[in-house]
Amino acid sequence: MLYLNIRSMKKFKYFSRGDSKKEQVGVVKAKSIYIASIKSAEKKKLSLTQFNNLFEVEEIKGKKGV
């Protein structure tokens, strides 16, 4: 069962708001963008509101089947 849960995790990156190049500040694995935002905020030791004011989160799209 654990194997199935790991496979459903996606990779998300977070980057500074207003960064047109979207250079990643960090990466987290999560099931949804919301959970990724929470995890990222915890890593940066910020509240979710503070984090969302400073950063954006986006799914990292990878090769299918890898």
Query: Domain extents for the chain?
Result: 2-59
pLDDT in tens, 47-56: 999 999 999 9
Counts of helices then strands in the chain (DSSP H, E) = 3, 3
High-pLDDT (> 90) share of the chain, %: 79
pLDDT(1) > 50: no
The gap from C-alpha 49 to its chain's centroid, in whole angstroms, comes to 15
pTM: 0.80
Q: Are 46 and 54 in contact (CB under 8 A)?
A: yes
pLDDT in tens, 36-45: 999 999 999 9
Q: And the tokens for 1?
A: 């069962």
pLDDT for residue 66: 44
C-alpha closest to that of 62 among 5, 3, 12 = 12
The gap from C-alpha 64 to its chain's centroid, in whole angstroms, comes to 19
pLDDT band at residue 8 under the 50/70/90 scheme: confident
